[in-house]
Structure 1
Amino acid sequence: MLAAAVAWPALAQAAELVMFARTGCPWCERWDHEVGALYPKTETAKLLPLRRVNIDARAPQGMILATPVLFTPTFVVVDGGREVGRITGYINDDAFWGLLDQLVAKLRATRPAGAKLTPS
């Protein structure tokens, strides 16, 4: 527990994909089945490691969201503790990857000139 508390400031500065989910959510389960096992093996996961958050638990500290998360699943790209963009809901893997590619492009565009988004 203490290690997590000490590591949080460093983690908050890294870019990540935060999945807000709820136990029993059928669309979350579908995402897990269609994308979840593959995601950690992708280049995108190296840029945006996945962190799961239970929507019914207290919101993560140190994360600034544009609006509250109301639906599951919701995928939020966070960089430096701030929301870059989000995908609300899950339809299928093609739609998810296409929308996530758009968010990665947006993340790269928000970086200062000369700064690179590199895998962690």
Structure 2
Amino acid sequence: MIRFLAILALMTLPAAADPLRLLMVEKVGCVYCEAWDRNIGPGYAASDAGRAAPLMRVDIHGPYPDGLALARRPFVTPTFILLDGGSEVGRLEGHMTAAQFWPALNALLDQAR
């Protein structure tokens, strides 16, 4: 319930509230989303990437924040979509280990800069 309320609170923020945001598309029961939450999530907000692109979470079935411009609707969880003012810069789809996730996210952040 607390996680749901946190997701709901984040969804009330406008998509363009910050220049860069990382949208995590997830679904209840996704074992790969839970693995990300265990292995990467705890340190995300304190990381350089987390400070550059704060995390915003949404269920794959929506509702999505207003004003998003996505290349296509996500179809796999987790999907991480880097947003610049609400427009998609790039995405990471599917499960990644920490050793895969951080370099891939940093490449997206470099692309956005």
TM-score, structure 2 length as denominator? 0.84
| Structure index of larger Rg | 1
Unaligned runs of 5+ in 1: 109-120
Paired residue for 1:114?
Answer: none
In 2: Cα distance, 1:39 partner to 1:74 partner = 15
Paired residue for 2:14?
Answer: 8
Opposite residue 103 of structure 2, the aligned amino acid is G
> Secondary structure of the residue that 1:51 maps to in structure 2?
strand
In the comparison of the two structures, how many residue pairs are matched?
104
Paired residue for 2:60?
Answer: 55
CA-based RMSD: 1.9
In 1: Cα distance, 2:16 partner to 2:47 partner = 23
- Greater than 6 Å deviation, 4+ residue runs: none
Q: 1:75 aligns with which of 80, 84, 88?
A: 80
Paired residue for 1:64?
Answer: 69
Q: 2:93 aligns with which of 76, 88, 95?
A: 88
In 2: Cα distance, 1:9 partner to 1:33 partner = 26
In 1: Cα distance, 2:22 partner to 2:87 partner = 11
Unaligned runs of 5+ in 2: 1-10
- % identity of equivalent residues: 36
In 2: Cα distance, 1:52 partner to 1:31 partner = 13
In 1: Cα distance, 2:56 partner to 2:33 partner = 14
